[in-house]
Amino acid sequence: KNQVEQSPQSLIILEGKNCTLQCNYTVSPFSNLRWYKQDTGRGPVSLTIMTFSENTKSNGRYTATLDADTKQSSLHITASQLSDSASYICVVSDVMSSGNTPLVFGKGTRLSVIA
């Protein structure tokens, strides 16, 4: 069964500090992986996408890494801000095949940045 596991479930950090969120997946065959940010009361919004051939991709203070061999991804947030408080969701896609859910969602990591 295709699964996406995220850790930690929740995280509290001080404003200005860095943090790293983890995503492990069993989705196969793998197409791409995306990190989403979900603010409270809102729908998730895409932060970055990683394809099979990419190892690192940055979007401002967010840097995502991917190791397709070990099926692991991480999202690193640098110099955190209060506005980074949100849930971060890892989503993996397999090549569309019969019987498979097209997108597999992790349960997310709830990040709280405090002053």
Partner 1 sequence: NAGVTQTPKFRVLKTGQSMTLLCAQDMNHEYMYWYRQDPGMGLRLIHYSVGEGTTAKGEVPDGYNVSRLKKQNFLLGLESAAPSQTSVYFCASSYYRGNRMNTEAFFGQGTRLTVV
For binding to partner 1 (CB under 8 A), which residues are involved? 9, 31-34, 41-46, 49, 89, 91-96, 101-103, 105-108
Which 8-state DSSP code applies to residue 99? T
Closer residue to partner 1 in complex, CB, 15/110 = 110
Closer residue to partner 1 in complex, CB, 45/79 = 45
- Find the shortest distance in angstroms from Cβ 58 to partner 1: 17
Which whole-number Å values give the CA distances from 102 to 6, 17, 18, 78, 96, in the listed order? 19, 35, 32, 31, 6
- Find the shortest distance in angstroms from Cβ 79 to partner 1: 26
Closer residue to partner 1 in complex, CB, 79/95 = 95
- Find the shortest distance in angstroms from Cβ 99 to partner 1: 9
Instruction: Report DSSP letters for 33-93, one per residue.
Output: EEEEEE-TTS--EEEEEEETT-SEEEETTEEEEEETTTTEEEEEE-S--GGG-EEEEEEEE
